[in-house]
Amino acid sequence: QVQLVQSGAEVKKPGASMRVSCKASGYTFGSYYVHWLRQAPGQGLEWMGIINPSGDNTNYAQKFQGRVTMTRDTSTSTVYMELSSLKSDDTAVYYCARGMVRGVSMTNFDYWGQGTLVTVSS
Amino acid sequence: EIVLTQSPGTLSLSPGERATLSCRAGRNINIFLAWYQQKPGQAPRLLIYDASSRATGIPDRFSGSGSGTDFTLTISRLEVEDFALYFCQQYGSLPTTFGQGTKLWIK
């Protein structure tokens, strides 16, 4: 079965960087785009960007450009999201999610990771 | 970016009743709208995509309708496990955006 398993919770200080991993299994890793989203406490979902696991090309939301980097390791079917220059309002649950339609970048999300809570606090 | 406005913000109903949730897009998104259910401490779960197609394993008491700018999620007969947060997502235009959600409470 399809699974996306994310790394564990983190606590970071303002100005630091964070990196969350998302290990995929149960499907052909390179066939589906992987997205990153976040949800601040009590808030809605915010799309951060997308990575094509087969080609390594990315597309980031304008809000995060210059601060976010998404990469992948095809040998382990894992995608990574790194966010730098953290601020307190980056405190959120970060999710990876698979785009439902094979080979299509902008689509809905059929499988989600379990979420990773990142707390930014001095 | 396209703004999605969900209404109502909260909805209080009893098991067995019918729930009607609305999502309005700031501009035409054709049928590129999905609905998700989220329970506390869990990741979202896809219910409906392309405005009216049920995702795999979703009970037929969940249905979606609409196109263009106005969309509806209907839960025909509420069960206790349906009381949760619901939100819509548009993927007709980059960047994809989400509504702020409708919280469905047990009366």
Kindly state whether B98 is in contact with chain A, defined as any CB-CB distance less than 8 angstroms. Answer: yes
Which among B25, B42, B26 has a CA at the least distance from the CA of B34? B25
Strand-pairing partners, residue A45, are A39
Look at the alpha carbons of A103, A104, A107, A112 in this order and tell me if their dihedral is positive or negative: positive
Hey, are the CB atoms on A109 and B46 less than 8 Å from each other?
yes
Name chain B contacts of A115, Cβ cutoff 8 Å.
Answer: 43
Kindly state whether B35 is in contact with chain A, defined as any CB-CB distance less than 8 angstroms. Answer: no
**pLDDT for A104:** 83
* Mean pLDDT estimate for chain A: 95
Rounded to 5°, the CA angle A51-A56-A58 comes to 40
Kindly state whether B34 is in contact with chain A, defined as any CB-CB distance less than 8 angstroms. Answer: yes
**pLDDT for B78:** 97
Chains A, B: CB contacts within 8 A come to: 47
Hey, are the CB atoms on B98 and A112 less than 8 Å from each other?
no
Hey, are the CB atoms on B99 and A114 less than 8 Å from each other?
no
Strand-pairing partners, residue B66, are B71
Is the omega angle on the peptide bond into residue B15 within 30 degrees of 0, that is, cis?
no
Average pLDDT over residues A81-96: 97
Best residue in A45, A50, A105 to probe B by mutation, most B CBs within 10 Å? A45
Contact B89, A108 (CB under 8 A): yes
For A52-69, how does the pLDDT look when each residue is reduced to its tens digit (9 = 90+)? 999 879 999 999 999 999
Contact B63, B80 (CB under 8 A): no
Distances (CA, A) of B29 to A20, B25, B83: 32, 7, 28
What does DSSP say about strands B102-106 and B10-13: parallel, antiparallel, or unpaired? parallel
The token pair that represents A16 in the structure block: 């630091």
Confidence of residue A101 (pLDDT cuts 50, 70, 90): confident
Distance CA B23, CA B90 (A): 10
The token pair that represents A48 in the structure block: 């951060």
Which residues have a Cβ under 8 Å from the Cβ of B77 and sit 6 or more positions away? B16, B17, B18, B61
- Ranges of chain B whose pLDDT falls below 70: none
Rounded to 5°, the CA angle B26-B4-A6 comes to 140
**pLDDT for B66:** 98
For A34-44, how does the pLDDT look when each residue is reduced to its tens digit (9 = 90+)? 999 999 998 89
